[in-house]
Amino acid sequence: MMKITIALLFILLNNDCSMLPAAQGASDEKETVYVCGSGNGKRYHLKEHCRGLNNCSAKAVKTTVEKAKKEGKTLCGWEK
């Protein structure tokens, strides 16, 4: 049972949106981030293929942290 738990933790912590140095630099207002192109999303993402974008019915669109925040978007929960 312990091996399964460790394996699951490893998988969850090593996904595409893990807390890498790039994620820590999200305060840089000129940094490129991604939002759902449908216009309905409430989050921005540090990686184009973040699992938080799985429910987006449109293509992910590049923008900046500054623009995303002006639109009321916050950082994806998978990347905090």
Give 26-78 pLDDT, tens digit per residue.
Answer: 456 689 999 999 988 999 999 999 999 998 999 999 999 999 999 999 999 99
Q: Does the pLDDT at position 21 exceed 80?
A: no
Whether residue 7 contacts residue 14, with contact meaning beta carbons closer than 8 Å, is answered with no
Q: Which of 28, 38, 36, 40 is nearest to 64 (CA)?
A: 28
Q: Say if residues 34 and 63 touch (Cβ distance below 8 Å).
A: yes
State the Cα–Cα distance between residues 18 and 51, nearest whole angstrom: 10
The pLDDT of residue 20: 47
Is the pTM above the cut of 0.85?
Answer: no
Distance CA 19, CA 79 (A): 6
* pLDDT beyond 90 at 19: no
Q: What pLDDT score does 68 carry?
A: 96
pLDDT of residue 40: 87
For position 80, what pLDDT does the model report? Answer: 77
